[in-house]
Amino acid sequence: MTNYYYTVAALETIRLEEKVPISEAQFLQFAEDTIDGKDYQVLLKSRWGHTEPTGLSFADQILSWEKELRLELAKARILKLNFEQALPASDGNYALQEQVRAVMALDSPLDRERFLDNLRWSFLEDMGACHFFDLEALVVYYLKLQLALRQAKFQEELGRESFEKAYAAVTDSFNLTTL
């Protein structure tokens, strides 16, 4: 197992809801310059929502957890809307029903997104607890960076306006089809 003491030690700490100290492009360039090419390819595949194997079981485990979270969210949304929709089968490795119930109980879409990001962050903290200077630590850092950058883009007022426009468009189209 390769250790990346310099690479990990040189990275600044990332925290949710704080200014992000590095861009994704800067991080990836730094990683490309300081880690093995094969490990860099694994790192590139370690993205939220990525469903293909990364080449590292640790990263695949995290992405499998994310897939389970998304499936549970989809199930909850389908039940809430009384739709009948077939979903891909769960691999059953993670029980996330309680967390999804807590998310669905929140009224604000922004609060839901923040809750989900905090849930993802906590999972990453747990997964990375025993990894300090290895590729796994870099995968955790990269996934945390993606979350922090995503949250930095949240703008409550613009989000509310966008949501209200989209909601109005959906309700208008629903009202037209039911007449």
Residue ranges of alpha helices (H) inside 82-134 are: 97-104, 109-127
CA distance 72 to 65: 11
- 34-50 residue pLDDT tens: 999 999 999 999 999 99
Residue 81, classified by CB atoms within 10 Å of its CB into exposed (0-12), middle (13-18) or buried (19+), is exposed
- Is the CB of residue 91 less than 8 Å from the CB of residue 64? yes
Across the chain, what does the average pLDDT equal?
90
- Amino acid (one-letter) located at 93: N
Name the residue with tokens 């999804």.
100
CA distance 61 to 124: 11
- Amino acid (one-letter) located at 96: L
CA distance 85 to 13: 42
Average pLDDT (152-157) is 79
Alpha carbon of 38 to those of 20, 52, 55, 135, 144: distances in Å? 27, 16, 9, 11, 21
- Amino acid (one-letter) located at 22: I
Average pLDDT (112-117) is 95
**Rounded to 5, what percent of the chain is helix, strand, coil?**
65, 0, 30
> Count of domains in the chain?
1
Long-range CB pairs of 22-26, under 8 A, 24+ apart, other chains included: 22/145, 23/149, 24/145, 24/146, 24/149
Task: Pick 91 or 178 by higher pLDDT.
Answer: 91
Range of the domain at 9: 5-178
User: Residue 23 has what pLDDT?
Assistant: 97
CA distance 126 to 135: 16
CA distance 147 to 31: 18
User: Residue 157 has what pLDDT?
Assistant: 72
